[in-house]
Amino acid sequence: MANVTVIGAQWGDEGKGKVVDWLASRADVVVRFQGGHNAGHTLVVGNQTYKLSLLPSGLVRGKLGIIGNGVVVDPDALLAEIARVRAQGLTVTPETLRLAENAILILPLHAAIDRAREAARGEKKIGTTGRGIGPAYEDKVARRAIRVCDLAEPETLSEKLDELLLHHNTLLAGLGAATFDKQVLLDQLLAWAPQILPYAEPVWERLDEARRTGKRILFEGAQAVMLDVDHGTYPYVTSSNTVAATAASGSGFAPSALGFVLGIAKAYCTRVGSGPFPSELHDATGRLLGERGFEFGTVTGRPRRCGWFDAALVRQAIKVGGIQGIVMTKIDVLDGLPELKICTGYTIDGVYTPRLPAAMRAQAAAVPVYETMPGWTGTTRGARSYAELPADAVKYVRRIEELIEAPVTILTTGPERDDTIMMRDPFEG
């Protein structure tokens, strides 16, 4: 059995929660490897709905969950999430959840900086969640971050806070925001220590042991390729790498053992926050997609922008993200539409291009080139095989496969866990 790595192939919110839950039920270990509590998965199990941001989805299925070193961790958010799912009946203990000792901590000052910067940008704001993820990653690469392991060393915490506050209080004062007191932050860190440290360990050792003993490992990505800090629609991106390769560096795992890379894409396209979105619809069809698909951010609750499927964008994500197969979600949302459009490329100042360019102004100027296909009158909802799908729905999926140059290996046809058509088992490699 192969390991599986799951990443988003659009701008996030593709419905990864249901897919990851289905895969997690068959895995032994589930690993989060990047991002913070700015993204989330919604899992529906029986009559319970779990909204997870930091906790790996496998915990819902009683599997070992690991938070890797590539994740930035807000201790308050982590502890609150643990308390919330415990109240729903889940068992979360140091035996079921492990946290990389070298993961970076998000402090209250990071969220303050995040919000103050967004306010200062005015109409040019990036659309961050204001939860401090970006500033925490900045401290990581600037080598001044506080890590989980530092909670065991009060002297280290005190020294690091001096450097942090010299930097951040200067910025906060310049932005007209309140500054932070060292002793208040130190007391908070020392209060977190006994609650967080029991979960901490060098998770790379545990993952290496799992690999050597043949355990099935599922790597669970957050956000999506087009929000990758290098390959996405910069600067309207997240602050981490979201491609499959990050599963190795964000967990301390062998790159050669990441297994089958599964990309998730909706049968249409959505985006939360600011930034270019060439196939966005501002009409009644866009509103209909949002209403039918219940398009609101899991973490922020913000309404998602909706548009036609962008094959050029997904093809690009497949190539740079290392995706081997696509899970197409929410095809049932398209039921009954008289016609469908697929973006196959763009024109920029009248010149055709098959890819979304890197430059910000060029991205904003991209005009979609569409291919029109007929809709279908029957329903895809609840279908468990291709034979149950309307013929035009099958044609739509097949045409997308041609355009993105990759197979649709799994198709989801409704909100229920078993509303799934699987053409290839990703755990079989």
Domain boundaries, the chain: 1-99+202-269+306-332+378-429, 104-196
Read off the pLDDT band of 300 (50, 70, 90).
low
Report residue 406's pLDDT band, with 50, 70 and 90 as the boundaries.
very high
Instruction: Give the tens place of pLDDT for each residue, 340-362.
Output: 999 999 999 999 999 999 999 99
- The matching CATH number, chosen from 1.10.3720.10, 3.40.309.10, 1.20.140.10, 1.10.300.10, for 104-196 is 1.10.300.10
| CATH topology agreement for domains 1-99+202-269+306-332+378-429 and 104-196 | no
Mean pLDDT of 256-283: 95
Give the per-residue SS3 of the chain. CCCEEEEECCCCCCCHHHHHHHHHCCCCEEEECCECCCCCEEEEECCEEEEECCCCHHHHHCCEEEECCCEEECHHHHHHHHHHHHHCCCCCCCCCEEEECCCEECCHHHHHHHHHHHHHHHHHCCCCCCCCHHHHHHHHHCCCCCEHHHHHCHHHHHHHHHHHHHHHHHHHHHCCCCCCCHHHHHHHHHHHHHHHHHHEECHHHHHHHHHHCCCCEEEECCCCHHHCCCCCCCCCCCCCCCCCCHHHHCCCCCHHHCCEEEEEEECCEEECCCCCCCCECCCHHHHHHHHHCCCECCCCCCECEEECEEHHHHHHHHHHHCCCEEEEECHHHHCCCCEEEEEEEEEECCEEECCCCCCHHHHHHCEEEEEEEECCCCCCCCCCCHHHCCHHHHHHHHHHHHHHCCCEEEEECCCCCCCEEECCCHHHC
Q: For position 127, what pLDDT does the model report?
A: 74
Q: The whole model's pTM is what?
A: 0.93
Residues with active-site annotation: 13, 41
Give the mean pLDDT of the chain. Answer: 93
Whether the predicted pLDDT of 386 surpasses 80: yes
Region 298-320: mean pLDDT is 90
pLDDT at 78: 97
Mean pLDDT of 224-234: 95
Which class would CATH give 1-99+202-269+306-332+378-429?
alpha beta
Per the model's pLDDT, the better-predicted residue between 125 and 93 turns out to be 93
